[in-house]
Amino acid sequence: MIVKDFQAGKPLPLNRWASITAPTLVIVGGNSEPFFHNGALALVDDMPNARRRILEGQDHAVSPAALAP
């Protein structure tokens, strides 16, 4: 489980996911709480081939239609 040890509100360890080189899409809902946006940015900053997309009008519980209209 990725988040098991990281839900205590502490900063992510530096370079935790830097070894993941596969193209990765990090998705966050535009209406999600700020900590989701901060987490998405941290992941994208750490992963060399990651990019972030915001799904406007969505929160953490993204509608399936927003992913595959």
The pLDDT value given to residue 7: 64
End-to-end CA distance of the chain: 29
User: Is there a domain that residue 67 lies in?
Assistant: no
User: Is there a domain that residue 2 lies in?
Assistant: no
User: Is there a domain that residue 64 lies in?
Assistant: no
User: Is there a domain that residue 1 lies in?
Assistant: no
User: Is there a domain that residue 12 lies in?
Assistant: no
Contact 36, 3 (CB under 8 A): no
The pLDDT value given to residue 19: 94
Q: Is the pLDDT of residue 1 over 70?
A: no
User: Is there a domain that residue 65 lies in?
Assistant: no
* Structural domain count of the chain: 1
Tell me the average pLDDT across 11-32: 90
User: Is there a domain that residue 36 lies in?
Assistant: yes
Tell me the average pLDDT across 23-31: 96
- Domain residues for the domain of 32 are 23-54
Residue-averaged pLDDT of the chain: 87
